[in-house]
Amino acid sequence: MTDQNTPRRTARSRALVERSRTVIPGGAQTGLRAQAFYPTEIAFESAKDATLTSVDGEQYTDYHLGFGPIILGHRHEAVDAAARAAIDDGVLFGAATSPLEVEVAERIVELLPSVEQVNFCNSGSEATYHAIRLARAYTGNEKILKFEGCYHGWHDYVDISVYPPEEHVGERYPESDGMLEAAVDNTLVVPFNDPDALREVMVEHGDDLAGVILEPVPHSVGSLLPTEAFLDALEAETDAHDVPLIFDEVITGFRHSPHGAQGEFDVDPDLTCVAKALGNGYPVAAVGGKKKLMSQAGGDNTSGVIISGTYSGNFLGLAAARETLRIIEDDGVQDHVTDLGESYRAGLSDLLEDHGHEGRVVGHRSIFSVQFGVTGEPRQYTDIVGLDQEKFRAYAKGMRERNHFFTPNPFKRHHLSFAHTDDDRTQYLDDADEVLSDL
């Protein structure tokens, strides 16, 4: 790590950022990356374990972890070896079935309590897109119910009311220009953790709904933990109206538990989407669920749902997934990252109090967030919308200057991996002590 008093080397990073903006919209491959990271003017060229290295040779402890997929640490030797071995037999057949895809599908069925069949794809957005199509085909309906503050990908079906400005809270708020108006009109939005609001919508629209989709723990806005009353209402209402319940476990799946949030909270969804931690950074995702829904994609004359993708089930991603799942189960990954997460959250909470900052530390297991300007346990998006965004960006800048990297987006989160250590935590908290004193 570079000492804070050592002049920082950023010339190559700044030059590459400017060069990228000429040929790439916003200078990054997603608008979110451009918005969140490019004001930092850092360009990375390598990573190992819990460390990122910039093109200037600066090293940072990584709490971003690619928006969360890196559960084991960068360049995990066993996962990378499995991927290299898969290359020797060919990375893509795009025809019929392979032993590897059967084996990984069987493993997911064993691990996730509600899942009976699996289709692979390459990203969380694809998985939620497929899940909604399956739900619409099963019910014959078009409307989707989602919850304010939950993110399910970039597509028109659900990119609605994820981070609505305060004046648009409680409304259907499209997050992007160019969205199909009919898709927005067919999406209903209610507050998370509000059983009464859920029941009201189900009374009015239950017979018209294709599905109910949610992040069981909405980590896209830091962390909202579901109440037991809310989860009970979800199961009861969707069962009563025969509406598929879709768990978007793109973030929670295999990061918090080998059995997903559904296993942790004892909920039985009809469809489940997983990605991110499934492959420790390799592009692999899946939609799985009850056979009554999944069999619609069977491809025979009686099944009319198209789930397709040339690179779906590519062997690089599947080999990484098989090895990642094995390590998660065998090596005590969740125990390590959960214990670390608890100690980071406790230490940061003490520091906020010591320095007199109004705020809170939220999170679950291996995820934590610092939220300035708001207090109390958040249950809904309305409990987050008033946070002090500029103060968080100043905190992120101060920590970045001390070689800790996480997204400066105040609504997002820190992630921990199996490669993070007690020494990383001690250094983070020591430096946070300095930054919070300076703010």
62's enclosing H/E stretch is: strand 59-62
Compute the distance between CA of residue 299 and CA of residue 305 in angstroms, rounded to an integer: 8
Which residues of 266-329 form beta strands (DSSP E)? 271-274, 285-289
Per-residue DSSP letters for 325-366? Answer: HHHHHHTTHHHHHHHHHHHHHHHHHHHHHHTT--EEEEEETT
| Cα–Cα distance, 308 to 126 (Å, whole number) | 10
Give, for 133, the enclosing helix (H) or strand (E). Answer: helix 124-139
- Encoded tokens for 183: 């898709």
Helix and strand numbers (H, E) in the chain are 14, 14
Question: Would you state the torsion angle of the CA atoms of residues 227, 231, 234, 239, taken in this order, to the nearest 10 degrees?
Answer: -160
Catalytic: which of 60, 151, 344, 428? 151
Please say whether the beta carbons of 248 and 219 come within 8 A.
Answer: no
Between CA 96 and CA 376 the distance in angstroms is 53
End-to-end CA, the chain: 23
CA distances from 182 to 143, 161, 174, 187, 250 (A): 10, 16, 12, 9, 26
Q: Both tokens of residue 48? A: 């190992």
Residues 194, 380: contact at Cβ < 8 Å?
yes
Beta bridge partner(s), residue 274 = 286
Of 276, 290, 391, 412, the active-site residue reads: 276
Residues 248, 270, 383, 431: which is the catalytic one? 248
To 5 degrees, how large is the angle CA 103–CA 108–CA 110? 95
* Structural tokens at position 196: 């009464």
Catalytic annotation on 248? yes
Q: Please say if 151 is a catalytic residue.
A: yes
In DSSP terms, 44 is beta-bridged to 54
Q: Is 276 a catalytic residue?
A: yes
Catalytic residue ranges: 151, 248, 276
